[in-house]
Amino acid sequence: MPPVTPPPTFRDPAGSLSLTPEHAVRTIHPGACEEVLQFLNSPLRQQLEQRGEMVFTTFAEQTESSLQLIHPRIPIVTYPWEWTPGQWLAAADLTLALCEEALNHGWILKDATPLNILFVGTKPVLVDVLSFEKHTPGDSIWLAYGQYVRTFLLPLLMTRLLHWPLALTMLKRDGYEPTDLYAALSFTQRFSPAAFFPITLPSMLEKRNDKGEAAKAAAKPALKEPGLALHLLQGTLKGLRRRTHKALPKEATSEWSDYTSTLTHYTSQESAEKIAFVREVLESLKPRRVLDIGANTGEFSALAAESGASVVALERDAAAADRLFKRAQAQKLDILAIHSDLSRPSPAVGWNNSESTSLLSRLESQFDLVLMLAVIHHLILMEQIPVDAIMDLLHGMTRNHLLLEWVPVTDPMFQSLMRGRDELYGGLSETDLERACVGRFNQLRRLPLNNGRILLLLEKTVAGAAR
């Protein structure tokens, strides 16, 4: 089943976007056609596309009063509330860099929101070609400054200062307002160098402004000498980049971010056997696209990427997911990190619940191979998800194969997570898994490890259980 297709967009006054299975089709409204054509015919557009920093564009239809553009679809769409701090920073850096380069060509970004950015692996890509407009020489004001602060800088800053999860931005499409954040900060935080200019100062000025001052502030500033205006704009962008980098949360650690290096329920031999089995499966199946559920810091995601697969790595622990992204970025691996919990995946949000589609609808039937290593017992014991329901979901995720690690009741991790609920889960066995596979998966290979865990390579059956 193809992923759910959202209806055409409607918020941009310059045009709308609709999706087909293979393409994104952008219709430009008549009043914006001339400027859009000027940008698309500019050397700037060609440079950005060649470097892969902006989505590729071809003309589908062009008349005197209408313009339709075609873009290739990004394989897996992710939204900012599913990003790690490292991904937020990469998207912010790209946005500022594009604006700086645009200024050198006589253009400027008229909006600056992470919703205009998608990731291909670890690479951020601007997907809104309508974001550019001609820059007026002598104008030293970046009109998108406030939007950038609300949607890029402040979410990162609040994650650093108050540990607010970036996932909260799902509820704030246009970002955080400084006055709302001011009330949440302590006195010391309000007057810290990080928070004073983006939060405290705007909040204090807003309280003091009367209608006359507000009208005066809204008046268009006088134009400056073009060279000076350009210098001021470049300074604004450099200042924003500096503040954004300082707002990045310090690298966090958690029980799961150090899991791979501290695990005790695997001997070195058992760990080597597991890695060898996964590598053999990857080499024999040669999957083009792989989903790694519960990827942790990316050990097996990296194996899949190194085998030539394009990998989506799903991880619910924020610290582990960010380490995964940075690892893939440093090693230039084709891995798209998604910070989300499979048991509580991102829902469809926006107007009529249709502007941003649900995570599961974006992942369904998109992968040749799904990896689910040392995860199923967490779903059973921590989330109380039945084995049958888990296998039904996995059947919908994969097109062909599933590589699953079964953890027996006797395993120390199983015992730790069971928390005395022996009556409910103490009798769970591989037989329950086999029953849940009926009508969904056939077993191709089975490797029992000395620690009692079992690696299973399963093949999807043509007809799965009704969902």
> pLDDT tens for residues 204-246?
998 776 544 544 545 566 788 999 999 999 999 999 999 999 9
Q: How far apart are CA 289 and CA 296, in angstroms?
A: 18
Total-model pTM: 0.92
- pLDDT of res. 13: 84
pLDDT in tens, 390-407: 999 999 999 999 999 999
Provide the pLDDT confidence category of residue 10 given band limits of 50, 70 and 90: confident
Helix (H) or strand (E) holding 119: strand 117-120
Give the mean pLDDT of 135-142. Answer: 94
Is 340's pLDDT higher than 60? Answer: yes
- CB–CB of 153/359 below 8 Å? no
Q: Lowest mean pLDDT of 13-27, 213-227, 287-301, 369-383, name the range.
A: 213-227
Measuring CA to CA, which residue among 276, 330, 337, 279 is closest to residue 308? 279
Phi, psi of 92, rounded to the nearest 5 degrees: -65, -45
For 196, which DSSP code? I
Q: What is the DSSP letter of 110?
A: S
- Position 467 scores a pLDDT of 38
Asked whether the predicted pLDDT for residue 71 surpasses 80, the reply is: yes
Q: Which tokens is 194 given?
A: 């990080």
Mean pLDDT of 146-169: 97
Report the 10 Å Cβ neighbour count for 103: 18
For the chain, the average pLDDT equals 91
The whole-number pLDDT of residue 214 equals 45
The proportion of the chain whose per-residue pLDDT surpasses 90, expressed as a percent, equals 82
Alpha-carbon span 337 to 84, nearest angstrom = 8
Which DSSP state fits 152?
I
- How do 454-460 and 367-372 pair as beta strands? unpaired
146, 55 Cβ separation under 8 angstroms: no
CA separation for the pair 67, 129 (Å, rounded): 13
**Of 20-29, 263-272, 299-308, 346-355, the least confident:** 263-272
d(CA 95, CA 105): 16
| 335 has a pLDDT exceeding 70 | yes
| pLDDT band at residue 416 using 50, 70 and 90 as cut-offs | very high
Please give the structure tokens belonging to residue 247.
């707002």
Instruction: Give percent of the chain with pLDDT exceeding 70.
Output: 92
Calculate mean pLDDT across residues 158-169.
Answer: 96
Lowest-pLDDT range of 93-97, 122-126, 463-467: 463-467
Q: What pLDDT score was predicted for residue 4? A: 56
- State the pLDDT confidence band at 465, using cuts at 50, 70 and 90: very low
Q: Pick from 177, 199, 175, 169: which is nearest to 187 by CA? A: 199
Mean pLDDT of 436-444: 97
d(CA 6, CA 251): 35
